[in-house]
Amino acid sequence: MDNAQDKSKLKFGLVGKNISYSFSRGYFAEKFNSEHLPYTYENIDIQSIDELLPIIKHTKNLKGLNVTIPYKEAVIPVLDKLNKRAKKIGAVNTIKISKKGRLKGYNTDYYGFLHSLKPHLKKHHKKALILGTGGASKAVAYALQKLKIDFHYVSRSNKKGVKFLYSDLNTNIISSHHIIINCTPIGTFPNINACPDIPYEGVTENHILFDLIYNPSESKFLSCGSLKNATTINGLKMLELQAEKSWRIWNKS
């Protein structure tokens, strides 16, 4: 990031790996422009989380960061402090930088997911499957707990807390879990013909399929749900909500 900019221009950014597709940079650029704010928002594309602290140290006027795949968990040891909710979730997607340069981690993913799912919920939406076990899935799990929805993780490999492998899934399991959330990057542009390997024949019109992916706007995962007349939701609203929540955190005293 450029150090030589006017000190009146606060800086924000997104930390991730291979993030040229980023939603956040365009979103905040448009926000700053429409609100006539002299701020910048840049991508910080790093190959290892070890690269982050030197970048923060040498970037003047840096006030806040978002964090995306694959660093939502790896960033935690780098931080000086964790917000209580982020600590419970075990993942961070927002960092506030104090005037003294101290780093505090927050999670706004749970907020974005909860408030984009909630309007679609009906009485029969009592059980969910979370596809994937990364940082985003932890925020989703926390939101489901808040909504009092039972859930199980689905993973490619056996690990603590995982009930189902993809190879375990059958139509009965799918049909009895009326919310299925894709927290993996499978199906993201440009790999738009890929989708999680689940038995979609178990999906019904009573299902909600929620994909954290937003590019493409209808992933193959969601299109498979649409064919079964399920309710389908992509990750765009979640991203907008979490971005605005991040903005409020950065600007609170």
**45 forms bridges with which residues in the sheet?**
16
Domains 11-107 and 110-237 share a fold: yes
- Average pLDDT score over residue span 96-111: 97
Give the model confidence (pLDDT) of 154-194 as tens digits: 999 999 889 999 999 999 999 999 999 999 999 998 999 99
Taken as a whole, the chain contains a residue count of 253
Position 4 pLDDT exceeds 50: no
Q: Any catalytic annotation for residue 72?
A: yes
Position 213 pLDDT exceeds 90: yes
pLDDT attached to residue 79:
98
- Average pLDDT score over residue span 218-245: 98
Give the model confidence (pLDDT) of 196-206 as tens digits: 999 999 999 99
Measured torsion, CA atoms of residues 2, 5, 72, 82, in degrees rounded to the nearest 10: 130
d(CA 231, CA 214): 16
Position 56 pLDDT exceeds 50: yes
CATH of domain 110-237: 3.40.50.720
Q: For the CA atoms of the chain, what is the radius of gyration?
A: 19
Which residues, including other chains, have CB under 8 Å from residue 131's CB and lie 6 or more apart?
A: 137, 154, 180, 181, 182, 183, 184, 196, 198
Tell me if the domain spanning 11-107 has CATH number 3.40.220.10.
Answer: no
Structure tokens at 97: 């930088």
d(CA 221, CA 65): 30
User: Are 117 and 234 within 8 A, CB to CB?
Assistant: no
Helices 236-251 and 23-34: angle between axes, nearest 10 degrees: 60
pLDDT classification of 9: cutoffs 50, 70, 90:
confident
Among the listed residues 11, 17, 57, 72, the single catalytic one is 72
pLDDT attached to residue 21:
78
**Residue 111 one-letter amino acid:** Y
Structure tokens at 118: 């909630």
pLDDT classification of 26: cutoffs 50, 70, 90:
very high
CA–chain centroid gap for 7, Å, is: 31
Give pTM, 2 decimals. Answer: 0.92
pLDDT attached to residue 8:
63
Q: Point out the least confidently predicted range of 6-15, 175-184, 236-245.
A: 6-15
Position 2 pLDDT exceeds 90: no
Domain boundaries, the chain: 11-107, 110-237
